[in-house]
Structure 1
Amino acid sequence: MPELRAQLLAAFEVEHRDHVEAVRRALTHPAEADLREIFRRVHSLKGAARAVDLAAIEDLAHRLEERLAEVMEAGAGLSAQMVDLIHVGLDAIEAQAAAGRQGQPPPAPTAAIQALAGRAAAPEEAPAAPASAPVPAEAGPPGEKAPEYVRVDAELGLRLSEAMHQLSADLLAEEALVEVVQRLQRDGRTLERLWGEVRMRGAGREGPHVQAFEAGLRSLTRELSALAQRHARASWAVGQSAAALRSQVDEVALTPAENLLGDLARMTRDIAREQGVEVEVRFEGLEVRAERRVLQALRDPIIHLLRNAISHGAEPADVRERAGKPSRLQVGLRARARGGRLEVRVFDDGPGPDLAKIEAAAVARHLMPPRRRGDPPRAADEILALAFEPGVSVTASVDRISGRGMGLSAVNQTLLALGGSVRLTHRDPVGAEVILSAPLSAARQTLVILRAGDALFALPSFGVRSLLRLSGADLEIVEGVPSARIQTDGSDIVTPVLPLRALLDDLPLAPPDPAAAIPAALLVRGDRRLLVAVDAVEDVRELTVQSLQDSRAYPGLSAGAALLDDDQPVLVLSAEALVERWLRNARRLSASALGLAPPQASESHSARTILVADDSITTRTLEKSILEAQGYRVVLAVDGVDALNTLRSGGVVIDAVVADIEMPRMDGFSLLQAIKADAGLAELPVILMTSRDDPQDVRRGLDLGAEAYITKQKFDQRELLATISRVL
């Protein structure tokens, strides 16, 4: 235990320096400081201190967090007094850490606590502090981390040494080929000289110069053949040795998750005791190995999620009993390696995510518009994705565990910077589960290189379920979205199709030739699938992915950059972030991608556009063919909900609506009511169609504002065309 404690404190030493130095650097230019990033750093520092039982540092960080939250809520920016106050808190944290490092009793942080207890808005309450708080000498230059030491098994070190010696030997053998090449160069020059003499003398075929030339040529041919064989063998040997060496180096670079995450089970139990929550903690799969820096980066997010599991998962005993749950709250962590990725699931069996509260919080922060009366419920994954937006919180009060809505945002930012992703979902059968996905190694990744327009992009191979080639004629509009029917995982599914450029730049694209092939990558996020259309799939390569310093390159979507063989840079995109962007902006993005519809949907701008809403594919097809034959542009909807979404998306201007009455989810009457109640749609002509010749239905439709009513039993295409012509 003392040895483990020493390892944890060594890890905290590196981590806390990184956070403190980053905050101090940000404070050198207060007007340009990113308050959210400073808050995230302090929040992470608090969690790290809690994990190693440094209560004084945790308390100081918590108080700093309180003051920063007040500043963010006020939207006032960092005043000089606030900057001084933050430095006071950081000084006290550094003093506590330094005392622990030197084995001395830590000083009482009374003055700093009293200063941080006051409100940041009151300058007179802030204690005097140096104009610029000095960075401790042992911290080194800004941005430089303290050295980190790891223990390597003796047997592993021996295998690594053997692999290095074997590679060295193979490289020496490769160098020996240089002498052969030099000799062949000399022989080539000799033959060139002999051939010159033959031509000058005009010697016959049997002349001595000709014979010497032919002999030299045969010798050179044999040497070249032998050289080619030796070079092939040497190259193969070097490749094998390099692969073996890389495997051994990976063994050194990768460490069991237990080393950095194992202590969090105890931390979870301690937090539960402090909160008075009876808990059963289960950690599984911590034998999985990953790069130490990856595990270190995941540590803070996991700490926050475990704290959240206790805060949001706790329920009264009688509630758990009625729900048939065990008396103790179940909190767990499960890790596994999958397809070159580290997947960590943090879960609990509490009440699970409250969709209504998350949606309300997102609406309050203007992240989505409020639903109107009659609108269908939003998809669960669309709402859950918003839980990672800053300020979205379902907790009414603020305490040490949760409440500000910033923690999940910090988790998301950390994972994106790591080239990973995070997803919140309902756990089966009850509870919540957060799924973290990150590369086992932050450097080498297998990438799918794609071309979109004049630019190259890359997607990590683990994020691409399959590569397909679609036909433009196969695309159809389903629920207002360009879609294709494909086979995947043994099922026949209809999947949205969106050009990569539409996702990245919101650019409407020209419709493709129906006979042309469309390369596409199938991306998956949870149960959602998306086909991303590109111009070409160029290659699949294993490359080194480097982090991007310039966040302006598609922020939130980029996972780094890589260099191709010709030193051409390629931007690496996050597959899950692309799908998440689609989920959050489905209506607007689908509207910008309607160029993928067949060509007749984009003929002349003077043609009128008719929206046909009918749950019968036969009726939709019939009406579509009749209207297009008369020069109308036609947009299809499978029911009232689909039709209303299309109308409100603004992606295409609709001139009239032809709607069936009997449809699932939202019938024609409800659609008509929703249209007439919407100020932006109220003037839109609506024609109702029904299979029942009921005068009451006719009267109801006309009373609700329908311009016309057509009975399917008496359906005549001339009547339909004449009615549309009249209402337009």
Structure 2
Amino acid sequence: MTDIRKQLLAAFEAEHREHLDAIRSALDHAGRGEIDLTDVFRRAHSLKGAARAVDLPAVEEVAHQLEAVFWQVLEGEQSLDEPTIVTVRRNLDTIEDLVADLLKPQASQAPVQPAPVSATAPREPEPPLPKPDAAAETGGSAYLRVSAEQMEELSTSMHQLLTVLQANESLDDDLRQIELDSRGLRRSWDRLHEQMNASGVAPQEGFSLTRRIASSFAPRLRDFDQDLKGLLRRISALTRERRQSSWSIEQAARQIRDNIDRVSLVSAETVFGGFGQMVREIARKAGRDVDLRSIGLDIQADRQVLQALKDPVMHLLRNAVSHGAEPPEERIAKGKPERAEVTLELASRGGRLVISIRDDGRGPDLARIEQTAIERGLLQPRAPAHPPPMMDQLLGLVFTPGFSTAGEVDRLSGRGMGLSVVAEAARKLQGSVLLRPRYPHGTEVLLNVPFTAARQPLLLVEVEGRMLGLPAHAVERLLRLRTETLESVEGRPAARIEIGGQDIIVPVVALAALTGSPNAPLPIEAGHVKAVLVRHGSRTCALAVNAFHDVRTMLVSDVQAIGLNDMVSGTVLMEDEMPALVLSPDRLIEHWTRNEGRLAAGGLGLTGWAQEEERQARTILVVDDSITTRTLEKSILEAQGYEVILSVDGLDALHRLRSGEALIDLVIADVEMPRMDGFSLLQAIKADSRLSALPVILMTSRADPEDVRRGLDLGASAYITKQKFDQRELLATIGQVL
């Protein structure tokens, strides 16, 4: 039995016990009407999928029958009466016996037959279980069940340790400076010694006393000279050892952090898996026919992040049904399919988790939003001839606390809470939320959050003597603008910047003016303004600061201070143990939009949304475990106008391809990679009917003719060796393949 097979079986053993225990516990409460049928159905479905993944057809068949029964109960086609419960329990026992038979085989044990759970057509005999490898008894990986709270405490402690180690980096700089000072002292002593020798041999009479004094101190001077040399050697050795030790400790700590983070990750299926049934159920009660598509639920993220987003995503799905799904007759009159479609999609983009909830319904009612905003005092009534506010301004208002356009408060419309709960959840995770229309019809809400709740990459900037952090994902670029190039728009500074091929007039706003100093001027140094270009949706703004510092991955804590406005999303602890505020870029832009309404309405800083239908650039997935190679290939391809997505190994690439998070036109893969090599990735792509037509170029250091032939036989479109790498050859090959 292979190592991966052992690991899969060990994981399945832990998972199947969890599902069996949960179903049995639910059945214990069925008599009191307290059973959560949706959760029970999901667990039977997950058990079936897990059995299929480890190639246990007998277990898969029994789980499938359980899933069918629970579905019939959910649909009202069958009651969960006592005979059904007894039969279900018997089949749960059967699954347990089948798995036990595999993991702890007995020589004389016959295959266990599951009991039928309904009086349908007779079922064929179960296929015999595969003969287990004896190594499964002793060679399989061991799994330990640990509470989520303990994992969170362990993760937090690890991140705090890394913060302390990062703070100690200043000690290395201090030690290095001591070494430099010691070397400078040594050079000064050598020059002084030479001068003393020169004066000691002078022939003049006046120097005879100096010679006698020098000769009497000569032994002490030699001892001092030797001591100084020895001290310098020890300082140099200590500096080298400290540098090597710091590097080793940091690498070990990072490895532990990565391991802890991987253990803390769970599949989104565990949190969002039951939403499909929930949406269909509430839609049926409202007399609407809705089909929920779930994409990318196999993606993994921090359990804390997924749990924090569970209620907001559920609220957004309710809104998609309440505000988006028209009655069937209305959809038919508009030429739409009778059944409405709502899509929940999770994807990894730019190292962050992006959740899209979209529908094909009516789309945002801008007039209703404006009217509600006027009624709540968020907007002033306008004259009939006055143009309406910009669309992004109106759509941003829906996240205001208490804002709701629902005509009535009911279960479907989310009890009139509005979308502020969604915005608040995203803010606490140092993320953002964006609502926009879909074309030709429908609405989309995008949640952009980190995969882990603790550590975040931050750009540290200085503003009026304060250190502030901006999430790195929202920073488009850093700017150094000459003051003479700044333009004036209605008395406000702006800069002309090329963004995505468009020439955009972007407002230049002192960050201090948005964070407590309303009249703060632009900080100017040597005729230049330093600014951070940030973007939220289609709105872009340049935030002027006094100084840039560095980009660090830091432990971000929730806001504890009283009196801070909603632009502050968290705090971090600096080396001097002083806290620095982490700002929310989308709230900063929204604050500017609200306070400069006239300029915002004029389109200042506004860029157009790119339609998916207008996609022209080809997208290439680069798969390589070497960060150097990935970076090199990315720079070459982007310079030629290609869009590039990176994966660290074959398994990561396969997840990205199957998730559908992006339309991939070509895969360039290394061969020698951990977890899944290039040959295995190629085989998996060609074996998947949805991906088989995707061209793959293997680019590797393995230049043996057998390897080349194997790659081409497996279906590679080309095979390029790194030893004779020529970027012109790579680009020419890509041109031929595409």
TM range (shorter): 0.5 to 0.7
1:146-205, Cα deviation, whole Å (9 max, x unpaired): x944899xxxx9xxx9xx9xxxxxx9xx9xxx9xx9xxxxxxxxxxxxx9xxx9x97849
**Which whole-Å CA distance do the structure 1 matches of 2:213 and 2:38 have between them?**
91
Using the TM superposition, give the Cα deviation of residue 370 of structure 1 relative to its aligned residue in structure 2, in angstroms: 1.1
Conserved in 1, the CA contact under 8 Å of 2:455 and 2:553? yes
Conserved in 1, the CA contact under 8 Å of 2:463 and 2:545? yes
Conserved in 2, the CA contact under 8 Å of 1:419 and 1:439? yes
**Which whole-Å CA distance do the structure 2 matches of 1:350 and 1:318 have between them?**
13
The alignment partner of 1:388 has SS state of coil
Residue equivalent to 2:246? 235
TM-score by length of 2: 0.52
**Which whole-Å CA distance do the structure 1 matches of 2:19 and 2:512 have between them?**
50
1:265 pairs with 2:276 = yes
Conserved in 2, the CA contact under 8 Å of 1:546 and 1:562? yes
Query: Which amino acid counterpart does residue 277 of structure 2 have in structure 1?
Result: R
1:2-46, Cα deviation, whole Å (9 max, x unpaired): 945977999xxxxxxxxxxxxxxxxxxxxxxxxxxxxxxxxxxxx
Conserved in 1, the CA contact under 8 Å of 2:457 and 2:471? yes
1:195-227, Cα deviation, whole Å (9 max, x unpaired): 9xxx9x978499776666655555554444443
**Which whole-Å CA distance do the structure 2 matches of 1:470 and 1:312 have between them?**
45
Residue equivalent to 1:566? 576
**Which whole-Å CA distance do the structure 1 matches of 2:219 and 2:506 have between them?**
78
1:499 pairs with 2:510 = yes
Query: Which amino acid counterpart does residue 580 of structure 1 have in structure 2?
Result: E
Residue equivalent to 1:407? 418
**Which whole-Å CA distance do the structure 2 matches of 1:2 and 1:397 have between them?**
44
Corresponding pairs, count? 428
Using the TM superposition, give the Cα deviation of residue 346 of structure 1 relative to its aligned residue in structure 2, in angstroms: 0.9
Residue equivalent to 2:396? 385
The alignment partner of 1:414 has SS state of helix
Residue equivalent to 1:536? 547
1:427 pairs with 2:438 = yes
Q: Which runs of 5+ in 1 are unaligned?
A: 11-47, 55-146, 165-170, 182-194, 595-728
1:49-108, Cα deviation, whole Å (9 max, x unpaired): 997599xxxxxxxxxxxxxxxxxxxxxxxxxxxxxxxxxxxxxxxxxxxxxxxxxxxxxx
1:374 pairs with 2:385 = yes
Over 3 Å counting, the alpha-carbon distance change for 1:219 and 1:364 in structure 2 is closer
Query: Which amino acid counterpart does residue 387 of structure 1 have in structure 2?
Result: V
* Equivalent residue in structure 2 for 1:274, among 279, 285, 303: 285
Over 3 Å counting, the alpha-carbon distance change for 1:294 and 1:7 in structure 2 is farther
**Which whole-Å CA distance do the structure 1 matches of 2:24 and 2:512 have between them?**
47
**Which whole-Å CA distance do the structure 1 matches of 2:536 and 2:36 have between them?**
34
1:502-521, Cα deviation, whole Å (9 max, x unpaired): 22347234477797211111
**Which whole-Å CA distance do the structure 1 matches of 2:19 and 2:561 have between them?**
38
1:590-628, Cα deviation, whole Å (9 max, x unpaired): 89xx9xxxxxxxxxxxxxxxxxxxxxxxxxxxxxxxxxx
Using the TM superposition, give the Cα deviation of residue 256 of structure 1 relative to its aligned residue in structure 2, in angstroms: 2.2
* Equivalent residue in structure 2 for 1:328, among 319, 339, 342: 339
Using the TM superposition, give the Cα deviation of residue 589 of structure 1 relative to its aligned residue in structure 2, in angstroms: 8.6
Conserved in 2, the CA contact under 8 Å of 1:448 and 1:460? yes
Residue equivalent to 1:353? 364
Residue equivalent to 2:73? none
Mapping 1:280-679, distance limit 5 Å: 280-402=291-413, 405-478=416-489, 481-505=492-516, 507-510=518-521, 516-554=527-565, 556-587=566-597
Over 3 Å counting, the alpha-carbon distance change for 1:220 and 1:470 in structure 2 is closer
Using the TM superposition, give the Cα deviation of residue 414 of structure 1 relative to its aligned residue in structure 2, in angstroms: 2.4
Query: Which amino acid counterpart does residue 502 of structure 1 have in structure 2?
Result: A
Over 3 Å counting, the alpha-carbon distance change for 1:313 and 1:510 in structure 2 is closer
1:301-325, Cα deviation, whole Å (9 max, x unpaired): 0011111111112213243234343
Using the TM superposition, give the Cα deviation of residue 420 of structure 1 relative to its aligned residue in structure 2, in angstroms: 2.2
Using the TM superposition, give the Cα deviation of residue 529 of structure 1 relative to its aligned residue in structure 2, in angstroms: 0.7
1:344-392, Cα deviation, whole Å (9 max, x unpaired): 1111111111111111111111111111121112111111111122343
Residue equivalent to 1:65? none
Conserved in 1, the CA contact under 8 Å of 2:469 and 2:583? yes
**Which whole-Å CA distance do the structure 1 matches of 2:265 and 2:216 have between them?**
69
Conserved in 2, the CA contact under 8 Å of 1:419 and 1:574? yes
Give the stretch that moved more between structures: 342-351 or 536-545.
536-545
1:248 pairs with 2:259 = yes
Residue equivalent to 1:691? none
Over 3 Å counting, the alpha-carbon distance change for 1:225 and 1:590 in structure 2 is same
Superposition RMSD on alpha carbons, in Å? 4.2
Q: Which runs of 5+ in 2 are unaligned?
A: 1-15, 26-34, 42-145, 162-167, 179-192, 194-209, 605-738
Over 3 Å counting, the alpha-carbon distance change for 1:242 and 1:384 in structure 2 is same
Residue equivalent to 1:605? none
Using the TM superposition, give the Cα deviation of residue 551 of structure 1 relative to its aligned residue in structure 2, in angstroms: 4.5
1:222-265, Cα deviation, whole Å (9 max, x unpaired): 44444333333222222221221111111112222222122222
Over 3 Å counting, the alpha-carbon distance change for 1:510 and 1:549 in structure 2 is closer
Using the TM superposition, give the Cα deviation of residue 398 of structure 1 relative to its aligned residue in structure 2, in angstroms: 2.3
Conserved in 2, the CA contact under 8 Å of 1:503 and 1:589? no
Over 3 Å counting, the alpha-carbon distance change for 1:50 and 1:577 in structure 2 is farther
The alignment partner of 1:239 has SS state of helix
Over 3 Å counting, the alpha-carbon distance change for 1:589 and 1:450 in structure 2 is farther
The alignment partner of 2:382 has SS state of coil
Give percent identity, aligned residues only: 41
Conserved in 2, the CA contact under 8 Å of 1:482 and 1:590? no
Using the TM superposition, give the Cα deviation of residue 465 of structure 1 relative to its aligned residue in structure 2, in angstroms: 0.9
**Which whole-Å CA distance do the structure 2 matches of 1:303 and 1:49 have between them?**
17
Query: Which amino acid counterpart does residue 498 of structure 1 have in structure 2?
Result: V
1:404-444, Cα deviation, whole Å (9 max, x unpaired): 53231222222223322222111233211111122222221
**Which whole-Å CA distance do the structure 2 matches of 1:50 and 1:576 have between them?**
40
Residue equivalent to 1:39? none
The alignment partner of 1:260 has SS state of helix
Using the TM superposition, give the Cα deviation of residue 280 of structure 1 relative to its aligned residue in structure 2, in angstroms: 1.7
**Which whole-Å CA distance do the structure 1 matches of 2:24 and 2:358 have between them?**
27
**Which whole-Å CA distance do the structure 1 matches of 2:36 and 2:583 have between them?**
34
The alignment partner of 1:378 has SS state of coil
Conserved in 1, the CA contact under 8 Å of 2:510 and 2:522? no
**Which whole-Å CA distance do the structure 2 matches of 1:326 and 1:204 have between them?**
107
Over 3 Å counting, the alpha-carbon distance change for 1:304 and 1:447 in structure 2 is same
Query: Which amino acid counterpart does residue 557 of structure 2 have in structure 1?
Result: Q
**Which whole-Å CA distance do the structure 2 matches of 1:272 and 1:582 have between them?**
39
The alignment partner of 1:303 has SS state of helix
